[in-house]
């Protein structure tokens, strides 16, 4: 007896499990309930799911110890009921005070639990109608009692198959969707209620719980109606998890029947009857930890505490990050300013921030720099180097000039005379034409930069501008006009740059190839290409391409001269050797561009030869003219083109001209590639950066425009109000979490599953220390006597283990899912 007297009581030695953790979570739930559907923070809770009339409401009432939920033969729970059970202390005189409070009726206490039932029914009808309609809007109820453990449960509508009343045809799908919205959250524990008189394999509760929690880490099974199973059957294998294993196991309970409810049988009497039922059924011997409402309450409380502890660090982190983002959003909406001075200061601040953001984006100093794509000034650089410069470098200045075009230009430049030198005029004409082609891409580059600056101006989204769309519109107009004004001098300067290059062809440029080098390269190209010219063979059988260049030229010109004069070939013509003996009247050097004669020596000798021939054979020719009829010349065609046959001299002239064109074009191209970006940066980009703020002040900073430009749309005001409320709630939640003792010893102090102290409070006079405890005399009998506290320690021994989710044993039972929590049972 001395030992019994010295045994500690729950109130003296141990704080109820979860006395520090669950109330704080309940407080958080009330805080976030103020946000309604806007809350994105999921808090730990226990959701009760099951089919219609599976006994869900009876289980909840048994946990509370009071009859307070609507009852009936059809659907009763038509809105989610968030039930917060809060344990209170008894009064000094030992009396108990139990009451309920609804969140939608703050400050009003309901001491009569029948009034709580009526208020639940009335609130359900107000939202879902009075004809069996269903709503997903919550009803939040707190129950304060010394006879409960701190637990938060959500009673969800039962799964029904056939619509009744005002229920839509897809009522089953809607209810399942509503249930899934709760139980799919990792923070939610699932209490799957299934009646024992139905096939567990067809359980709607286990089926939907399996969809939300396929690994079974959050699901607790509850088997109801054990007392109405068919004779000869029992739920032992169900409770042991041999039919459908669950990691957290099963708890069997016996609820009040409909007859008990109609006869107003109290929960206290129902708990006593439940104890007698299990005590009178030997098949449930050894399963004391899995039978009865008190064990269900204790297990729920313990698992919920451990679950809360597991997710609290992440919960605090989510609340903190949400708090920061909401605070930032709220700050972006600013405050309402009515005075002119305040409006002027606000406008000036917005304009300054915008100009700073614009310059930062152009210079690449933007704080919100993108890592996925080029933006701002980087795009401008890309346009200059990868589009403009690269495109110019890919252009061949001779790509649209054929050899015939160049021959025509050269012949046109000689006028009525024969060309003694390679003329400079065709080179200048052709190179100016190629320089003019650079104007369009240069102007296009300026327009590209203009478009890019417009994009940058749109991306400079200062937060305050979200509040004032009228101001944003005015600013877009101002900067658009300003950029267009800057584009015009840029294009003008680009035109001047091109004209400068065209007006003076600087052949003295150090990088220019020059005449001598061009002739050398042209001869090399002709030699490498082995051009075969359509020329006649010489009389001595030497191939034309093997004869000296001067000889081939003279022969060709002599033959052409004879044909033009109408003389038949080889009649009275002196040998070429005699022609070559005629002294030259000029230099024969062909190595100097523009000064020395390249082909002129041959022309002089040909002139001497023609003069001599004419004098020697002039008389026979006159005689021939008299002997034959008059010769008529062909009319020149309207369009004259060079002959298809070209001489070697012409080939060299064409090659020289191309070399000179490419050489000088490269010089001009490099100048353009350097000058055009500089002009655009000076007249457009940097000018905009320097003068944009002044233009904004000049155009927009006017007192008569303040009210118009700083007018907020209605949605901004509503967003400011919403974010202010969200911010207040999150700050309150964060302060609440700071009250939470994070040390595990503080959270679980004094709690154990010893035979004498369970931490479970007394429920309406029932001795919790001996409830369902196995007597010392036999493992197959129950004793509810308060005088026998020395029950077998094998039934409730061992300290609480922190690991809740152990793997199932090999036989598929649920006994080893929570090692240390359940007693070892000899089967």
Where in the chain are the domains? 47-183, 344-512+663-711, 534-625
Tell the residue number behind the tokens 């196995």, with chain if given: 774
What number is the average pLDDT over the span 594-602?
36
pTM, two decimal places? 0.48
Is residue 783 within 8 Å of 776, Cβ to Cβ?
A: no
Q: Quote the pLDDT of residue 526.
A: 64
Among 498-507, 610-619, 708-717, the range with the most confident prediction by mean pLDDT is: 498-507
Phi/psi of residue 537, nearest 5 degrees: -75, 155
Task: Count other C-beta atoms under 10 Å from residue 191's C-beta.
Answer: 29
Task: Find all residues with CB under 8 Å of 286, minimum gap 6, and list them.
Answer: 774, 779, 780, 823, 825, 826, 827
Which strand (E) or helix (H) includes residue 713? none
Distance CA 129, CA 462 (A): 48
Degrees, nearest 5: CA angle 512-518-520 = 140
Distance CA 425, CA 406 (A): 11
Is residue 301 within 8 Å of 10, Cβ to Cβ?
A: no
pLDDT digits (tens, 9 = 90+) for 727-748: 888 888 888 777 766 443 333 3
In a 13 Å sphere around the CA of 642, the CA atoms on its Cβ side amount to 17
Q: Quote the pLDDT of residue 595.
A: 34
Is residue 679 within 8 Å of 494, Cβ to Cβ?
A: yes
Distance CA 150, CA 761 (A): 11
What number is the average pLDDT over the span 525-534?
56
The DSSP symbol for 536 reads P
More confident residue, 444 or 56: 444
Distance CA 357, CA 365 (A): 9
Task: Count other C-beta atoms under 10 Å from residue 338's C-beta.
Answer: 7
pLDDT digits (tens, 9 = 90+) for 226-235: 888 888 788 8
Q: Quote the pLDDT of residue 439.
A: 93
Tokens of 280: 């009178």
Q: How confident is the model at residue 517 (pLDDT cuts 50, 70, 90)?
A: low
Is residue 598 within 8 Å of 607, Cβ to Cβ?
A: no
Q: Hey, what CATH class is 344-512+663-711 in?
A: mainly alpha
Instruction: Burial-class residue 372 by CB neighbours within 10 Å (0-12, 13-18, 19+).
Output: exposed
pLDDT digits (tens, 9 = 90+) for 305-325: 888 788 777 878 888 888 888
Distance CA 680, CA 805 (A): 69
Distance CA 509, CA 517 (A): 14
Q: How confident is the model at residue 586 (pLDDT cuts 50, 70, 90)?
A: very low
Is residue 7 within 8 Å of 265, Cβ to Cβ?
A: no
pLDDT digits (tens, 9 = 90+) for 93-152: 777 788 999 988 888 999 998 899 889 888 888 887 777 777 888 888 988 888 887 778
Instruction: Burial-class residue 170 by CB neighbours within 10 Å (0-12, 13-18, 19+).
Output: exposed
What number is the average pLDDT over the span 661-686?
90
Tokens of 600: 């002129």
What number is the average pLDDT over the span 181-209?
88
The 3-state secondary structure of 85-134, one letter per residue: EEECCCCCCCCCCCEEEECCCCCCEECCHHHHHHHHHHHHHHHHCCCCCC
Q: Quote the pLDDT of residue 388.
A: 92
Mean pLDDT over the full length of the chain? 71
Distance CA 18, CA 150 (A): 7
pLDDT digits (tens, 9 = 90+) for 241-251: 888 888 889 99
In whole angstroms, how far apart are CA 809 and each of 245, 814, 815, 819?
10, 8, 8, 11
Task: Count other C-beta atoms under 10 Å from residue 440's C-beta.
Answer: 10
Phi/psi of residue 733, nearest 5 degrees: -65, -40
Q: Quote the pLDDT of residue 46.
A: 86
Is residue 584 within 8 Å of 601, Cβ to Cβ?
A: yes
3-state helix, strand and coil shares in percent for the chain, rounded to the nearest 5: 50, 5, 40
Q: Which of 177-181, 196-200, 276-280, 329-333 has the lowest mean pLDDT?
A: 329-333
Question: What is the third-level CATH fold of 47-183?
Answer: Rossmann fold (3.40.50)
What number is the average pLDDT over the span 596-616?
41
Tokens of 591: 């190595």
Asked whether the predicted pLDDT for residue 560 surpasses 70, the reply is no
pLDDT digits (tens, 9 = 90+) for 808-819: 333 333 333 333
Phi/psi of residue 159, nearest 5 degrees: -70, 120
More confident residue, 412 or 303: 303
Distance CA 67, CA 65 (A): 7
């Amino acid at each position: 007896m001395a030992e019994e007297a010295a045994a500690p009581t729950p109130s003296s030695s141990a704080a109820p499990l979860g006395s520090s953790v669950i109330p704080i979570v309940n407080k958080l739930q009330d805080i976030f309930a103020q946000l309604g559907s806007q809350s994105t923070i999921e808090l730990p809770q226990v959701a009760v799911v099951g089919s219609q009339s599976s006994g869900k409401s009876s289980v909840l009432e048994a946990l509370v110890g009071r009859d307070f939920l609507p009852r009936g033969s059809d659907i009763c729970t038509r809105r989610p009921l968030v039930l917060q059970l809060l344990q209170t202390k008894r009064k000094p005189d030992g009396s108990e005070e139990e009451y309920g409070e609804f969140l939608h009726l703050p400050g009003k206490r309901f001491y009569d639990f029948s009034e709580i039932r009526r208020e639940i029914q009335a609130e359900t009808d107000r939202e879902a109608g009075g004809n069996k309609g269903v709503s997903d809007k919550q009803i939040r109820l707190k129950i304060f009692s010394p006879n409960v453990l701190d637990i938060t449960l959500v009673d969800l509508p039962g799964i029904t198959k056939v619509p009744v009343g005002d229920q839509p045809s897809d009522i089953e799908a809607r209810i399942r969707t509503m249930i899934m919205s709760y139980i799919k959250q990792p923070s939610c524990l699932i209490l799957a209620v299934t009646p024992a008189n139905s096939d567990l394999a067809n359980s709607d509760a286990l089926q939907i719980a399996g969809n939300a929690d396929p690994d079974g880490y959050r699901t607790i099974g509850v088997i109801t109606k054990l007392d109405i199973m068919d004779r000869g059957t029992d739920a032992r294998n169900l409770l042991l998890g041999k039919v459908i294993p669950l990691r957290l196991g099963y708890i069997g309970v016996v609820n009040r029947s409909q007859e008990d409810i109609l006869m107003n049988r109290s929960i206290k009497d129902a708990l006593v009857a439940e104890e007698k039922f299990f005590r009178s059924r030997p098949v449930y011997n050894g399963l004391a930890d899995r039978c009865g409402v008190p064990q269900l309450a204790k297990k729920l409380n313990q698992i919920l505490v451990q679950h809360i502890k597991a997710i609290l660090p992440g919960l605090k982190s989510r609340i903190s990050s949400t708090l920061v983002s909401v605070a930032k959003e709220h700050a972006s909406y600013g405050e309402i300013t009515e005075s002119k001075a305040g409006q002027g200061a606000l406008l000036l601040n917005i304009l300054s921030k915008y100009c700073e953001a614009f310059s930062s984006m152009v210079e690449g100093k933007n704080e919100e720099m993108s890592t996925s794509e080029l933006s701002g000034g980087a795009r401008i650089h890309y346009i200059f180097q990868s589009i403009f410069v690269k495109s110019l470098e890919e252009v061949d200045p001779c790509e649209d000039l054929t050899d015939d075009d160049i021959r025509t230009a050269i012949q046109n430049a000689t006028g009525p005379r024969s060309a003694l030198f390679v003329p400079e005029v065709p080179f200048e004409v052709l190179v100016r034409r190629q320089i003019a082609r650079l104007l369009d891409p240069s102007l296009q580059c300026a327009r590209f930069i203009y478009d890019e600056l417009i994009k940058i101006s749109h991306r400079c989204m200062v937060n305050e501008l979200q509040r004032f769309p009228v101001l944003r519109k005015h600013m877009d107009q101002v900067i658009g006009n300003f950029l267009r004004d800057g584009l015009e001098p840029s294009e003008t300067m680009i035109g001047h740059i091109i004209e400068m290059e065209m007006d003076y062809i600087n052949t003295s440029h150090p990088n220019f190839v020059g005449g001598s080098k061009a002739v050398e390269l042209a001869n090399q190209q002709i030699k490498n290409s082995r051009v075969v010219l359509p020329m006649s063979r010489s009389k001595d059988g030497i191939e034309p391409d093997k004869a000296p260049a001067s000889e081939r030229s003279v022969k060709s010109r002599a033959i052409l001269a004879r044909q033009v004069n109408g003389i038949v070939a080889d009649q009275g013509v002196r040998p070429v050797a005699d022609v070559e003996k005629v002294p030259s009247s000029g230099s024969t050097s062909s190595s100097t561009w523009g000064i020395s004669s390249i082909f002129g020596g041959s022309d002089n000798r040909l002139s001497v030869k023609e003069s001599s021939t004419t004098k020697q054979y002039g008389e026979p020719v006159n005689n021939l003219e008299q002997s034959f009829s008059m010769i008529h010349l062909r009319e020149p065609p309207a369009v004259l083109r060079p002959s298809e046959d070209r001489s070697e001299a012409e080939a060299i002239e064409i090659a020289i001209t191309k070399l000179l064109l490419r050489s000088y074009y490269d010089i001009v191209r490099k100048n353009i590639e350097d000058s055009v970006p500089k002009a655009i940066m000076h007249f457009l980009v940097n000018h905009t950066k320097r003068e944009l703020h002044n233009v904004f002040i000049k155009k927009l900073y006017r007192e008569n425009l303040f009210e118009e430009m700083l007018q907020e749309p209605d949605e901004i005001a509503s967003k400011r109000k919403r974010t202010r409320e969200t911010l207040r709630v999150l700050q309150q939640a964060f302060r609440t979490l700071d009250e939470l003792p994070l040390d595990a010893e503080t959270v679980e102090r004094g709690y154990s599953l010893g035979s004498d102290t369970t931490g479970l409070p007394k429920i309406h006079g029932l001795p919790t220390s001996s409830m369902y405890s196995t007597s010392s005399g036999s493992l197959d009998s129950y004793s509810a006597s308060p005088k026998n506290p020395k029950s077998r320690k094998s039934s409730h021994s061992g300290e609480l283990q922190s690991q809740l989710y152990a793997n199932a044993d090999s036989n598929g039972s649920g006994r080893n899912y929570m090692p240390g929590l359940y007693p070892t049972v000899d089967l």
